[in-house]
Amino acid sequence: MTAQILPFQSHTIVQVQGTSYSRQEIAVVNEISLTLTINGEEWLSFLCTPLHQIELAIGFLYNENIITSLAEIVDYRLCESGDNVDLWLSFSPAKPRSWIRTSGCSGGSTSQSSPNLPVFEIIRTYPVKHIYTLIDLLYHQQSIYKMTGGIHTSAICDLNEIVLTVEDIGRHNTLDKLAGLMLLHHLQIDNKILLTTGRVSSEMMHKAIRLGCEIVVSRTSPSALAVQLAQKSGVTLIGYAKRNQFFVYSHPERLDL
């Protein structure tokens, strides 16, 4: 039986207000080092929140284009201590000689600098009110954030609602976990929209495009390279999203403005 590692821990802190203070118990988000082992060979380690570890590992391989479907995975297992995922594949992939450390706190790793990316045609438009509704729904999906703070949330939506939501200290990890969940649950989601609380850097945009998201919505800013990738791939990139306003960095013609 696998040991359960909670996504948060209880800590005693000192709260200072003005010149007075008090002690209280609060929840602090947990962080572990998770090792990914492929066909018996250790590949790399993630810094992550101990939730959906198997999904993180599988989604990472998918987003890195190392696997293309669940059929290529023979077996998988999370070790009893919860800090190692063993994956057995139907083939022997070449382990990348080096990993590029991606940007941000608890940043991820990638082996790709310029993978071939699809281009999304604009075949439908979305009401602005629909985007506002999804942004509002994201606020209500952040269960661990409401307890601890210090954690990112990402969600996959369709035309009507949020379908999947995950939380992790690493914004890159949230997109890998979403990919893993979709593969393991055989989810076919049309008209995918990605919502995220994290900054959209180039590697985040790569993962979003790999997931097939034609709209990416962030509560904060994108990088210049992410904007270029979105423009090239036909993705509508939205930043600084709030319940009543947002910035559109690429392909505003996908929205009913």
Biggest CA pair distance of the chain = 63
Asked if 218 and 198 count as a contact pair (C-beta separation under 8 A), the reply is yes
* Residue in 48, 105, 157, 213 annotated catalytic: 105
Instruction: Check if the beta carbon of residue 88 is closer than 8 Å to that of residue 75.
Output: yes
Known catalytic residue: 105? Answer: yes
Concatenating the DSSP letter of every residue in the chain gives -PPP--SEEEEEEEEEETTEEEEEEEEEE--EEEEEEETTEEEEEEEE-SSSHHHHHHHHHHHTTS-SSGGGEEEEEE-TTSSEEEEEESS-PPPPS--EEPSSTT--EES-SS-----------EEHHHHHHHHHHHHHH-HHHHHH-S-EEEEEE-SSSEEEEEEESSHHHHHHHHHHHHHHTT---SS-EEEESS-B-HHHHHHHHHTT-SEEEESSPBPHHHHHHHHHHT-EEEES--SS--EEEE-GGGEE-
Residues 148, 181 contacting (CB under 8 angstroms): no
Q: Which residues are catalytic?
A: 105
